[in-house]
Amino acid sequence: MTTSPDMTPLEGTQLGKQTPLPNSPEEARLDYVPNPRPGRNYLVRFTCPEFTSLCPVTGQPDFAHIVIDYVPDQSIVESKSLKLFLHSFRNHRGFHEDCTVGIAERLATEMKPKWLRIGGYWYPRGGIPIDVFWQTGPAPADVWVPDQGVPGYRGRG
C-alpha cells in the first residue's frame, strides 16, 4: 500500500495496481500526493522524449519531446498517473498547441503548483518543426530553473 509522508494510506491512487491505458486524456485520472517537503521551494522535472498524439486532420501520428517543470505547493503529481495521462494522447487528435497547453493547464488547475512550465518540442510536420511553450508566470526567485536542454530541430544539417 502506498502511504503519504505522514504514513497515512493513499487510497485511490494507481500506484501498485494494474492500470489500463486510458482511452483519452479526458478519461485519464491524475493522482496527487502530499508534497513531502512543504514550505521548501524546489523544482521537479518530468521528461517524456517519446510523446505521441494524432494529427486532427490526417489522423497520422505526431511526435514530441515534452519537458514539464514545476515547483510544488501542497501536492505533487504521482508519476505513474502522469505517465498514463501522457500516453493517453496516443489516441487524441489535437494540434501541437492544444496538446502541449492542455497538459499544462490540467496540471496547473488540479495540482495548483507554485509555478509550472512546459516545453513541447515537436518533430516536423510538413517540413516545419513546431515548438510550444507555456508557463504560469515567473518562477520563484529562490529556485534554480535549468535550461530544458532540448536543442532546436536541426534535421541532418
What integer pLDDT is reported at residue 11 of this predicted model?
63
- The answer to whether residue 20 is domain-embedded is no
Annotation marks residue 99 as catalytic: no
- Give the model confidence (pLDDT) of 72-114 as tens digits: 999 999 999 999 999 999 999 999 999 999 999 999 999 999 9
What integer pLDDT is reported at residue 7 of this predicted model?
40
Instruction: Name which of 2-6, 59-63, 72-76 the model is least confident about.
Output: 2-6
- The answer to whether residue 118 is domain-embedded is yes
- The answer to whether residue 39 is domain-embedded is yes
Q: Pick the catalytic residue: 55, 73, 98, 131?
A: 55
Alpha-carbon gap, residue 113 to 104, rounded angstroms: 11
Q: What is the CATH number of the domain that holds 88?
A: 3.30.1130.10
DSSP letter (8 states) at residue 97:
H
Domain that holds residue 37: 32-135
pTM confidence score = 0.89
- The answer to whether residue 16 is domain-embedded is no
Q: Pick the catalytic residue: 31, 48, 62, 99?
A: 62
Q: For residue 28, how many other CB atoms are within 10 A of its CB?
A: 20
What integer pLDDT is reported at residue 15 of this predicted model?
74
Q: Give yes or no for a contact between 42 and 69, defined as CB atoms under 8 angstroms apart.
A: no
Long-range contacts of 6-15 (CB under 8 A, 24+ apart): 6/34, 13/78, 13/81, 14/78, 14/80, 14/81, 14/84, 15/78, 15/80
Annotation marks residue 55 as catalytic: yes
